[in-house]
């Protein structure tokens, strides 16, 4: 590793901050030795806050109907070959009932931007989940909505909202989306969610078309300043019915490298090891956790629709991706020294750094 790379890693660790140019250098000049050092620091930081616990979220894919036409996404409106579905409110509650029984204490309702899911309908579902299971957290991941809509759902009891920013470089954003979608609007939504009081998650795909080390550096700088409670990053994987069908998938190596960097930037962050990561590599799930992630989101959607929520080709949706196979997942995590726990798994945001190991120890 170059001396400069080593110094930058030490500086990141000490200050939790680098300039955009420095992040760019960290990405462009990465090597196996740097990845190892970052991983070591990331894991130690995470363990000082969360021990060896891994949080689980039950993912319920409520609809694959979407008004948007994101160029990368398999459920984009122009994909006429996509078999559309939407869950009824009672089907969603059944998924939650099953998930609660299995040990899940956070439920994530994710879906395309489907107009059927009005504020009234969503608020009724949220209220029902929270009254049946007051010890559980409800996370929403339903795309861009008005601030008033976010507020209503928050008032109904929603705790968290995941809205990947997709890229922090405006010109890159426009290359991934049609003109009708705007980077400014996406960023406004994130800031509205934060002001309302949600625990907010942003995120991006690794290896998305037209992404450069400079755009990734801007993503890291954005995470540094926005300080999200959660950050979802996973490799881009092409989908056969999208304009990006011939584009190569992102790599396990770069995704894990960035997971470690993000953990160091903001040590308490909740960082999932995503389904996309286990789709590109059989050991992806474990590698993500070993790089600094601490959340896994098994699928709780009804079996019949899992294949239809196809954001990218060959999405993993059986075996350990499935909430019903939690025991296998627990076993796999134990083999690498981690324990899946049945907790809400909120961020431990103590501004008090007493729990963190002394930085000179590393």
Residues 143, 112 contacting (CB under 8 angstroms):
yes
Lookup: tokens for 272 = 């999932």
Toward ligand SAM, which CB reaches closer, 52 or 84?
Answer: 84
Does position 117 bind ligand SAM by CB under 6 A?
A: no
For ligand SAM, what does the binding mask look like between residues 313 and 342, x meaning CB under 6 A?
------------------------------
> Could you say which of 143, 267, 288, 292 contacts ligand SAM (CB under 6 A)?
143
Segment near ligand SAM (CB under 6 A), from 17-25, 78-86, 138-146, 151-159? 138-146
Pairwise CA distance, residues 235 & 254, whole Å: 9
Does position 236 bind ligand SAM by CB under 6 A?
A: yes
- Restricting to residues 168-207, name those near ligand SAM by CB under 6 A: 205
Does position 139 bind ligand SAM by CB under 6 A?
A: no
- Restricting to residues 144-163, name those near ligand SAM by CB under 6 A: 163
Does position 113 bind ligand SAM by CB under 6 A?
A: yes
For ligand SAM, what does the binding mask look like between residues 72 and 111, x meaning CB under 6 A?
xx------------------------------------x-
Toward ligand SAM, which CB reaches closer, 23 or 312?
Answer: 312
Does position 23 bind ligand SAM by CB under 6 A?
A: no
Does position 141 bind ligand SAM by CB under 6 A?
A: yes
Residues 221, 262 contacting (CB under 8 angstroms):
no
Q: What residues make contact with ligand SAM under the rule CB under 6 A? A: 72-73, 110, 112-113, 141-143, 163-164, 166, 205, 234, 236-237, 239, 276, 311-312
């Amino acid at each position: 590793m170059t001396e400069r790379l080593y110094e930058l890693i030490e500086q990141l660790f000490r200050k939790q901050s680098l300039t955009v140019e420095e992040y760019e250098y960290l990405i462009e000049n990465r090597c196996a030795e740097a990845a190892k050092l970052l991983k070591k620091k990331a894991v130690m930081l995470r363990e000082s806050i969360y021990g060896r616990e891994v949080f689980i979220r039950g993912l319920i894919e409520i609809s694959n109907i979407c008004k948007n036409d994101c160029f990368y996404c398999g459920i984009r409106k122009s994909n006429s070959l996509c078999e559309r579905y939407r869950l009824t409110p009672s089907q969603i509650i059944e998924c939650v009932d099953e998930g609660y029984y299995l040990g899940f204490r956070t439920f994530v309702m994710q879906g395309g931007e489907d107009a059927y899911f009005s504020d009234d309908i969503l608020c009724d579902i949220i209220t029902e989940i929270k009254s049946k299971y007051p010890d559980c957290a409800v996370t929403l991941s339903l795309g861009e909505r008005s601030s008033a809509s976010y507020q209503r759902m928050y008032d109904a009891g929603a705790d968290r909202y995941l809205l990947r920013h997709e890229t922090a470089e405006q010109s890159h954003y426009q290359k991934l989306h049609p003109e009708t979608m705007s980077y400014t609007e996406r960023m406004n939504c994130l800031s509205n969610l934060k002001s309302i009081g949600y625990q907010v998650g942003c995120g991006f795909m690794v290896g998305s078309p037209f992404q450069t080390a400079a755009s990734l550096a801007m993503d890291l700088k954005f995470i540094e300043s926005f300080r999200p409670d959660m950050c979802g990053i996973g490799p881009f994987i092409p989908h056969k019915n999208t304009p990006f069908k011939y584009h190569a998938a992102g790599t396990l190596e770069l995704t894990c490298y960035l997971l470690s960097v993000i953990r160091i930037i903001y040590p308490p962050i909740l960082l999932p090891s995503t389904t996309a990561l286990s789709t590109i590599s059989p050991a992806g799930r474990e590698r993500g956790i070993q790089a600094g992630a601490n959340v896994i989101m098994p699928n709780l959607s009804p079996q019949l629709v899992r294949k239809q929520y196809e954001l990218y080709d060959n999405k993993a949706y059986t075996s350990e991706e499935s909430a019903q196979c939690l025991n296998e997942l627990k076993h796999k995590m134990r083999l690498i020294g981690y324990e899946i726990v049945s907790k809400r798994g909120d961020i431990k945001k103590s501004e008090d750094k007493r729990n963190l190991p002394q930085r000179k120890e590393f």
